Amino acid sequence: MSEIVRRSDTFAALVARQPDNELFRFSLAQALVAELRYLDAVEHYKFCVNKKADWMMPRILLGKLLLELGRSPEARLQLQEALKLAVAQEHEDPERELRALLADLK
């Protein structure tokens, strides 16, 4: 019987080989969230946000994850920054979603 390989294991191996690769980190974070390993995912989303300040998606996902973890002040900051990016980059659907999320935080 073969052992099941978790998707996060695949991306963790890629990150181990190329720790500065934000795309591998992003994929690893998504895999960790799918496995309900939220705390493990946070550091990888934070890496992406810090590496590419204008990359909106990891900021949105980090904000949502922080909300899920009950870390509302941190979540608010990430979601506010993501909203600025959505407006600047003219992403209307994410802008609407972010405005709604932020309104619920008030």
pLDDT tens digit at each of 106 positions of the chain = 445 668 999 999 999 999 999 999 999 999 999 999 999 999 999 999 999 999 999 999 999 999 999 999 999 999 999 999 999 999 999 999 999 999 999 7
pLDDT for 3 equals 53
The residue ranges of every structural domain in the chain are 7-105
Terminal Cα-to-Cα distance of the chain (whole angstroms) = 52
pLDDT for 106 equals 75
- 7-105: CATH homologous superfamily? Tetratricopeptide repeat domain (1.25.40.10)
With a CB cutoff of 8 Å and minimum separation 6, the contacts of 80 are 102
